[in-house]
Structure 1
Amino acid sequence: MRIVIVEDEVRIREGFFKLLSKLGDEYEIVGEAENGRQGLEVCRDKKPDLVITDVQMPEMDGLEMLKAIYDEGLDIKAIVLSAYSEFEYARTAMKLGVTEYLLKPLNISDFSTALENIRHQMEEDKRKKPQAVGTLDQVMREIIGGRMTADDEVEKYLRKNYGIIGTQKFIILCDYLGNQYESRWQREQKELSNSLSFYEGINYLILDMEYRKSLIAIVYKYNSATDFERWIQFQLLHKLQGSSAMGFTECAGLDGISKGINDLYPYMDWNISFEKDVLISYPKITQVQTSLCVYPQDLEARMKTAICASDFALEKKLMDEFEESFHDGKVYDPREIKECFVRFIWSVIEIAKDIGNERVAELQQQKLLDSIMNAKLRSELLTVCSDIIDMLTVTEVTSDTETLTVKRAKSMIHEFYHTGITLDEIAERLSITPEYLGTQFHKETGENFSTYIRNYRIGKAKELLVGTGMKLYEIAERVGYSDPKYFSKVFRDVTGMLPAEYRKSLK
């Protein structure tokens, strides 16, 4: 029995190694993890018979991990451990189909009994196979998932019911839908099936694979792979007319189907490098000659200047220009294109954060950059860019709790900051005392008046440092500081860098 241990305490994981070695040679620990997210990856990779998991863990708890495992169709038995005797945990585990739920501290007798129950369940599952599997859809899912091997019994079953020979060749089509998978897969599956039904002499099966955001068509009867590939390229892709990517490969043997999918899938991002309606054919795609992908530094500099100037129309124009720069008739490696997107988006986020864009500052940058590197469609990259532009163009919104007095005070700061306007001068214009204005300003904004106007001036100075070639003394005067040395001191207090260092860091 192949086992994975998922437990955040290393001492307990080591204890399982010792305990299972004593209980019998049939128990083999093939992997371990310290949280549910790592555990999910280990289970995907190792495909164990059993996962022993704690409930309470960082990043992803044990029950969330099991739900993800079962959602992906991985047939893995589970023993759930918990230090809490709360019914909700047990009820959730039972909903997931977990039959063995044990409380910490672990009773060795109970644990041994749970292992024996799991072993009996596995034997019963094996005895019922393939009758319990039944349909071709289910058999293929089990084989692809590594939960079933194409043994004599399975091959006999497939030959008798579907005319499939274990050693024959198969064509694999990958229809990648990306972020539209959830809303489109059912409609796309019907359209794909209808289109394939017009091609005479083939038998096929279409599987939905949510974790790959794809539909996988397995063609198990055909005359010529070359003719079929040509038909897909010149007819099928035009019929579907969807914003998806289509991949093609041929593999040998039932056990080669999973490998074929795994070989093809990483190359689906080549759709980003081509124009629409190009079939990604593996292994042909590995021989494609590419041009050198040069990062558009000039566009980055112009974008920074536009952001600092709050020129929303120019920001949108430059983002469109950046996106189009990779579609100039040349073929670039998609990984290099995505690395350029990461670099460009990162620079946009950093400069926007630096000049005080609060919405951009709240972005989960790593999640955003991961979505770029995992993209396989040009539309997925465009969505990221569009979201960033939307955040850049949102104007400042004042709090509903601010009184008219404070709003007017902030408006005066924004209009006259460059003159060196003071709290006393604004209070006089508003016909109130400086003490009252200072108290209300701090109460409603959470900042002292002096801190607010200082940060506003430094923010404007950042815009000028990046977006213009003005000298430092000119910028100091422009934002309300008559003494350039004092301006440099304040700038360093706020940013940790001198103005010249800041300008150099963003060039």
Structure 2
Amino acid sequence: MRILIVEDEIKIRMGISRLISAHTQHTVVGEAKNGKEGLEMINRFHPELVISDIRMPVMDGLEMLQESVKMGNNCHFVILSGYSEFEYAQTAIRYGVDDYLLKPLAPEDVTQLLDKIQKKIDAEEEESIQTTEGLLREMLLGGKKDVTDICRKLLKTGAFAEKTPVFVLAGYVGNTSTKYSRSIQQQFEKMKESYPELNVYPVTLENTQEIFLLVQGEISEEELERKLTRRLYQNLTEEEQPVWIFAIFDELEEIQENVQKMRKDYLYGIRMGYREILTEEKIRKVPVEDFQYPVHLENRIQTALCSESSEKLKKECENFLKYTKEMKCSPKYIRKTYKKMLAFLENVCHEVNQQAYKLLQNQDLEHLASEKITEGELEACFQKAVDTILESKDKKEDIRNYAIRRAINFIREHYSENISLDMLAERLEITPEYLSTLFNKEVGINFSTFLKRFRISQAKRLLKGTDEKIYSIALQVGYNDPKYFNRVFKEEMGISPGDYRQNN
């Protein structure tokens, strides 16, 4: 089940998302902070379930629900409420809300409710399968039903003729506006009226953001492609990137298996553009060069990240986008290039910018990129990572040397362990003498002094904020000998740890 979460409190929003990911097999397709954003995402992602708070700024949950229904969206709603809003939540059910969840949320409450909604959806799908559109949806989605049985039912209803070619147009519209998708649906409905001699069946798959058109009858492939081209590329903005693929099959039963191949070929829009219908013949003619990953750009982006220069980072990221536009390899490798670069950005941030690293981990952009279809979607994914890094630069230290930033981050994570200059230099693959020189140059103090002061700062935090014994605190900050810890602490602070705790 595809789920959208709409909640103005970010901690609750992210908490529900993590809970669903950890305890269920369902997919969170988006998160919105108010009803207006939520409505835009409903129209774009067509979730099967929306989990929404009631009271939010800009547009509340009930307004969003009512507007969504007016727009013809068909999804289930569950609202979130506190005990103080309990009666309001019950009233909301009369507006078409399926159920409600009371805060604070328990994992079992969420999983039980999701199971209940899933059963509703399964029952609705079972009922819809009995219609011609339902049978076609099941076939195109590759559902549980046997394709031979589906085709037999379609032939029995007279929707399709036996042993007659079927034209299939498959379209991915995930990188277009809702207005465009609706106009295409209207165009296809008009075709049904304009050509009564043809069997014309449009099918929209909201979950995968695809639109299909199946046509059977006395019309040539060239004529049909010409009629479709005229309808598919009207009133498109420059940013919109619909992908349309056209094929013809001799038997109805061939469609399900071949649609899977058509889906893989959506990626060829990256190479061929988004203003012509693709066919297998056109795709075969696309010249394909060997794949070369831009390692040289990795090095330059790493240097820009470590220099903390926003302008340098922006420039090198623009160079990366330019490089991907000029790649002549198979489009699956172009997508792979984005995935590898996103993973690289995360790895570098792990070393030099922990704040950005945590945000990138939560966004899971590398995984998201593996599901993207168009050039615009991949660029947006990459740009989101870059924006995250630019907005969360670590401003605590003005340290420009990559090795020193890695060294300091290692100390932050391992200060309770036995750390030496030699050990850290070996880890960074540089000499101890060079590491010592870098520390003095970039930090202004030597390695041992920095380590000592960092450990003492952690000890002060524990002395003030906990009741733990002093010998226990000594162990936690890397001193196995409590007497030595007392001496170092007094040298640094002028008083003993016990006196420091008493004074604070």
- What is the TM-score with the length of structure 1 in the denominator? 0.53
**Deviation for aligned residue 1:371:** 1.8
Q: In the alignment, what sits opposite 2:443?
A: 480
**Conservation of the 8 A alpha-carbon contact between 1:249 and 1:260:** no
Task: Report the residue type matching 1:350 in the other structure.
Answer: N
**Deviation for aligned residue 1:290:** 0.3
| In structure 1, C-alpha distance between the alignment counterparts of 2:133 and 2:282, rounded to whole Å | 29
The structure with the larger Rg is 1
Q: Secondary structure of 2:269's match?
A: helix
Q: Secondary structure of 2:201's match?
A: strand
Over 3 Å counting, the alpha-carbon distance change for 1:193 and 1:353 in structure 2 is farther
| In structure 2, C-alpha distance between the alignment counterparts of 1:382 and 1:63, rounded to whole Å | 26
Q: In the alignment, what sits opposite 1:211?
A: 207
Q: In the alignment, what sits opposite 1:458?
A: none
**Conservation of the 8 A alpha-carbon contact between 1:248 and 1:279:** yes
1:167 and 2:175 are equivalent in the alignment: no
1:81-480 aligned at under 5 Å gives the runs: 96-97=118-119, 135-144=131-140, 145=143, 147=145, 149-150=149-150, 154-158=154-158, 162=159, 164-178=160-174, 185-190=181-186, 193=189, 202-230=198-226, 232=228, 235-239=230-234, 241=236, 242-282=240-280, 284-286=282-284, 288-328=286-326, 331-364=328-361, 367-395=364-392, 472=435, 474-480=437-443
Over 3 Å counting, the alpha-carbon distance change for 1:210 and 1:393 in structure 2 is same
**Deviation for aligned residue 1:308:** 1.4
**Deviation for aligned residue 1:62:** 7.8
Instruction: Flag structure 1 segments of 5+ consecutive residues without an equivalent.
Output: 1-35, 38-55, 74-85, 101-117, 119-124, 399-409, 418-446, 456-460, 492-507
Q: CA RMSD in A?
A: 5.2
Task: Report the residue type matching 1:378 in the other structure.
Answer: E
**Deviation for aligned residue 1:152:** 5.6
**Conservation of the 8 A alpha-carbon contact between 1:172 and 1:260:** no
Task: Report the residue type matching 2:209 in the other structure.
Answer: K
Q: Secondary structure of 1:363's match?
A: helix
Over 3 Å counting, the alpha-carbon distance change for 1:275 and 1:488 in structure 2 is farther
Q: Secondary structure of 1:247's match?
A: strand
**Conservation of the 8 A alpha-carbon contact between 1:192 and 1:240:** no
**Conservation of the 8 A alpha-carbon contact between 1:312 and 1:392:** no
Task: Report the residue type matching 1:166 in the other structure.
Answer: E
Over 3 Å counting, the alpha-carbon distance change for 1:229 and 1:315 in structure 2 is same
Q: Secondary structure of 2:318's match?
A: helix
**Conservation of the 8 A alpha-carbon contact between 2:349 and 2:356:** no
* Matched pairs, number: 333
| In structure 2, C-alpha distance between the alignment counterparts of 1:351 and 1:367, rounded to whole Å | 15
Instruction: Flag structure 2 segments of 5+ consecutive residues without an equivalent.
Output: 3-18, 29-46, 50-73, 75-107, 402-410, 420-424, 455-504
| In structure 1, C-alpha distance between the alignment counterparts of 2:390 and 2:27, rounded to whole Å | 37
**Deviation for aligned residue 1:287:** 5.4
Cα-to-partner distance string for 1:422-464 (whole Å, 9 max, x where unaligned): xxxxxxxxxxxxxxxxxxxxxxxxx99xx8xxx9xxxxx9xx9
**Deviation for aligned residue 1:88:** 9.5
Over 3 Å counting, the alpha-carbon distance change for 1:91 and 1:171 in structure 2 is same
**Deviation for aligned residue 1:480:** 3.3
Q: Secondary structure of 1:215's match?
A: strand
**Conservation of the 8 A alpha-carbon contact between 2:135 and 2:150:** no
**Conservation of the 8 A alpha-carbon contact between 2:353 and 2:394:** no
**Conservation of the 8 A alpha-carbon contact between 2:151 and 2:253:** no
Q: Secondary structure of 2:248's match?
A: strand
Q: Secondary structure of 1:331's match?
A: coil
Over 3 Å counting, the alpha-carbon distance change for 1:355 and 1:58 in structure 2 is closer
Over 3 Å counting, the alpha-carbon distance change for 1:384 and 1:199 in structure 2 is farther
**Deviation for aligned residue 1:289:** 2.8
| In structure 2, C-alpha distance between the alignment counterparts of 1:369 and 1:380, rounded to whole Å | 13
**Conservation of the 8 A alpha-carbon contact between 1:150 and 1:166:** no
Task: Report the residue type matching 1:394 in the other structure.
Answer: E
| In structure 2, C-alpha distance between the alignment counterparts of 1:336 and 1:206, rounded to whole Å | 32
Task: Report the residue type matching 1:218 in the other structure.
Answer: L
**Deviation for aligned residue 1:324:** 1.7
Q: In the alignment, what sits opposite 2:83?
A: none
Task: Report the residue type matching 2:305 in the other structure.
Answer: I
Over 3 Å counting, the alpha-carbon distance change for 1:285 and 1:476 in structure 2 is same
| In structure 1, C-alpha distance between the alignment counterparts of 2:366 and 2:179, rounded to whole Å | 23
User: Structure 1 vs Structure 2: percent identity of aligned residues?
Assistant: 16
Q: In the alignment, what sits opposite 2:32?
A: none
Task: Report the residue type matching 1:319 in the other structure.
Answer: C
**Deviation for aligned residue 1:166:** 2.6
Task: Report the residue type matching 2:216 in the other structure.
Answer: Y
Task: Report the residue type matching 1:247 in the other structure.
Answer: I
Q: Secondary structure of 1:248's match?
A: strand
**Deviation for aligned residue 1:199:** 8.3
Cα-to-partner distance string for 1:394-421 (whole Å, 9 max, x where unaligned): 15599xxxxxxxxxxx7xx759x9xxxx
Over 3 Å counting, the alpha-carbon distance change for 1:273 and 1:209 in structure 2 is same
Q: Secondary structure of 2:233's match?
A: helix
Over 3 Å counting, the alpha-carbon distance change for 1:179 and 1:227 in structure 2 is closer
| In structure 2, C-alpha distance between the alignment counterparts of 1:87 and 1:299, rounded to whole Å | 48
Cα-to-partner distance string for 1:287-314 (whole Å, 9 max, x where unaligned): 5330123222222212111111222122
**Deviation for aligned residue 1:221:** 2.8
